[in-house]
Amino acid sequence: MDFLGCVAAIAAMALAYLSSPNQRFLRTPLRGAAKVAAWVLALAALVAWVARETSLPGIFAALTALMFGAVILPYLTWFFRPATGRKPR
């Protein structure tokens, strides 16, 4: 369940990042269905972590995994598409 919780959290934050208007990875942000899928995957990560741990440690583990995904994805985007290498819109 730990692996499933981590994968769901990273996927949730990836979809949340790619649906943001401030993202730089795609030319246009993903549509509204991606935001709904991000919420569903975040809830799945929470359920997976709470199923593995008890209630409070599971909640904090899920929040930590979600925060890790939210922090690492903009840095990965910066690594693969630096700001100086971007084409103007």
Distance CA 71, CA 50 (A): 22
| Structural domain total, the chain | 1
Q: Give the structural domain span for 15.
A: 2-85
Cβ-in-10-Å burial (0-12, 13-18, 19+) of 63 comes to middle
Contact residues for 86 (Cβ-Cβ < 8 A; gap 6+): 24
Provide the pLDDT confidence category of residue 86 given band limits of 50, 70 and 90.
low
Q: pLDDT (tens digit, 9 = 90+) per residue, 31-79?
A: 989 999 999 999 999 999 999 888 899 999 999 999 999 999 888 888 8
Evaluate whether 11 touches 39 at the Cβ level (below 8 Å). no
Q: What is the pLDDT of residue 50?
A: 92
